[in-house]
Amino acid sequence: MFEPAHYAARASELEVAASRVSDAVIRESYLTLARSFREMANLTSLTQSKEDAEAVGLAERMVGRTPSPH
């Protein structure tokens, strides 16, 4: 899986490319693809945040800072 920045950068590139296309159908295709890349960036960011929170929780339990959820 790529980092959120990767997907955001691809989305930006597609938006720039769309601005350079005169054909409305092709331009809209670029913009649709750019929106999809932005969604992937958001989903990847959310997934990483959840994984980070889980890792922090596990580390805290391992060193005895918080009680186990069980």
The string of DSSP letters for 7-59 reads: HHHHHHHHHHHHHT---HHHHHHHHHHHHHHHHHHHHHHHHHHHHHHHHHHHH
| Domain spans of the chain, in order of start | 4-62
CB of 7 closer than 8 Å to CB of 23: no
pTM higher than 0.85, yes or no? no
Convert the pLDDT of each residue in 27-70 to its tens digit.
999 999 999 999 999 888 877 767 777 767 776 776 777 555 55
